[in-house]
Every structure is written in structure tokens, then in C-alpha cells.
Amino acid sequence: MWYIVTFSPFQLFSFLLSGLVRSDGRPRLAMTALITGSVSNIILDYVFMYPLDMGISGAALATALGPIFSVLIMLPHFLFRRGRLYAVRTLPGPALAGRICSLGVPAFIMEFTIGVVTFVYNFAITRWGFGEIGLAAYLVIGYLMLIILTLFLGMAQGLQPVFSYFLGSGESGRSRELLSFSIKIFIAAGIACYALVLVCSQGFYSVFNPGDPELTAFASERSAVYFCGFTFAGFNILMITFWQATGKTARALAASLMRSAVFTPAFAAVLPAVFGAEALWICHSAAEAATAAAVCIMLYLSSRKPSR
């Protein structure tokens, strides 16, 4: 924790610069920087844990140092004014600072509530009697969940500057075309991810539990239900990002809260009580489906508003 907390400003600075570099028209630079940071983390993990015999502290130090390499790659873009964005001395007023923060709240909720969902599930698994095997199974299911959600989040973040550009340039027609195309891609990606879960989840889980076939089988069986609605997750994340990028913060915030802080805890409390304990494993997907229905209703209502 000491290493992670001490070097956390570099982690935050890396996220900040990555978003700015993408918005400044150099997504390849951002990708190169983040890949370099990740690869350096892997290499330093080995160096610190084995040749230097630092144990788990070495792994923490490697994680802490990785973002520094990313920052060093991206920072010259701004220091040497290689794009349209560069640092100037300024002090934004309270109104502008508040506007900046409000636009970022939906994205913050999307990231933060991954932990909320994990907490809710851990509590519910204990509440509904799945015991240690249930908690262990959800641990490995959570790895797979994080990979899929990160895929959707990365795709959405890549689209965000484009939607913002179309808003600023007044090209609403191109923005709608891109949104329509993106929805199809996200739905296709969600279906592909679910197919891979059905086919490959057992092999994925066995990597983490090579000596426990019972746990692997338990997690694999529940995954078919747990991930059945993750196509809706991709759609929801795309729409939240689109609304955030086009200044419709209230809609983005509502959708962000519904998919994690509202529907997931509610379903986790109600569905197992009504349909039995096994219904717990569908609660996350049910929350995503309910949020997608609410998003479609918001889209329908907004399309009926007369244009001014």
C-alpha cells in the first residue's frame, strides 16, 4: 500500500494525459504510452519478485512505477507544443471547475461502481448461503467481468473525442451515423464475448484453480447465467459515454447510477428471495437489461421533443 499510494499521482497523471493526448488527435501515442507502462510493469514484476527477492512488495513497486514510463512518453507532447493542447498559466473560475467536474461524474461512477457491484455480490453470496466456494468462484468470475467491461470502456473512451468533435463542429448528422454504427459494433462485441464465455470460461478459470476442478466447474456453470446480459452492458456504456461527450450529463448520470447503484443491489435483494438463491447470479445481467430498457425510453422521449 505504501508504494501504491506514494506513486498514485503518476497513475492519475497517466490517465489525465492519456485522455488529453487522444483528444488532441494522437491516439497512437496514448496507446504506445499505456502499453509501455503495462509491459514495464510485467517485466519489473519479475525483476523485483525473483532476482531481487522483494516478494509482494516488489510487485507493488512494479505496479507503482509502470505509470511513470507512460507519463514520460506523453508529457513531451505538451511540453514541446506538438499539438493544439499545451500548458498555459491559468486559473479556472468556480463555475468552469464545477462544469468540468460534473461532466466527469458519469465516467467516475462507471469506474467506481465496478467495486460497488463486487461488494454487493460478495455480501449477497454470503447472505444466500453459497459459502466459501461461492466467494472463490465470484473472485475468478470477477476477473473475467473486469476484462469484458474494460473492453467496452476502452472502446467507448476511444469514441468520446469523436462525438465531442462532431458536437463542436455542428455535424449532428455524422454524430448520429457514428452512434448507430457504434451500437451495432458494441452489440456484436457483446455477443462475441458471451460466446467466448460459454466456450472458454472453464479453461480460463482452470488457470487460476488448476488443482480445484469443483471450483472451476462451479464458476463455469454460473458464468453462463452471470454474463447472459452483458451485451446490454456494452450498449449502456456506449450511451453513457455518448451523452457525456455531448453535454447531456443528466442522462449519463441517471444511466450510470441505474446500472450499478440502483438495479444491481435491488435485484440482488429481491430475485433470490422470490426465485431462489441461484437467481443471484443473473442479477448483474438483469440490471444491465433494465438499464438498457430505461436508456431506450430516454432515447424515445428525446426523439419526440420538437426541434428548436
Rounded distance between C-alpha atoms, residue 126 and residue 96, angstroms: 45
- Phi–psi pair at 88, nearest 5 degrees: -135, 160
Helical segments of the chain, H only: 2-6, 8-23, 27-49, 55-79, 94-127, 131-169, 172-208, 213-226, 230-245, 249-257, 263-275, 283-304
Evaluate if residue 272 carries a pLDDT over 60: yes
- Report the mean per-residue pLDDT for the chain: 91
Rounded distance between C-alpha atoms, residue 131 and residue 157, angstroms: 37
Evaluate if residue 229 carries a pLDDT over 70: yes
Alpha carbon distances (Å) from 215 to 132, 209, 299? 10, 7, 42
Percentage of the chain lying above the pLDDT 70 cut: 99
Evaluate if residue 64 carries a pLDDT over 70: yes
- Cβ neighbors of 202 (< 8 A, separation 6 or more) are 216, 217, 220
Closest listed residue to residue 174, CA positions, set 162, 184, 185, 187: 162
Neighbours of 127 (CB within 10 A): 14
Mean pLDDT of 263-290: 95
Rounded distance between C-alpha atoms, residue 83 and residue 26, angstroms: 9
Neighbours of 242 (CB within 10 A): 22
pLDDT value, residue 212: 85
- Give yes or no for a contact between 286 and 274, defined as CB atoms under 8 angstroms apart: no
- Cβ neighbors of 38 (< 8 A, separation 6 or more) are 66
Per-residue confidence at 306, pLDDT binned at 50, 70, 90?
A: low
- Give yes or no for a contact between 240 and 296, defined as CB atoms under 8 angstroms apart: no
Rounded (5°) CA angle 112-106-180: 120
Instruction: Tell me the CB-side half-sphere exposure of residue 86, using CA atoms within 13 A.
Output: 9
Could you read off the pLDDT of 90-148 as tens digits, one per residue?
A: 887 888 888 888 888 888 888 787 888 888 999 999 999 999 999 999 999 998 999 99
pLDDT value, residue 308: 45
pTM: 0.84
Evaluate if residue 180 carries a pLDDT over 80: yes
Mean pLDDT of 213-235: 93
Evaluate if residue 246 carries a pLDDT over 80: yes
Highest mean pLDDT among 81-95, 98-112, 185-199: 185-199
Evaluate if residue 264 carries a pLDDT over 70: yes
Rounded distance between C-alpha atoms, residue 31 and residue 46, angstroms: 23
- Phi–psi pair at 24, nearest 5 degrees: -90, 15
Evaluate if residue 268 carries a pLDDT over 50: yes
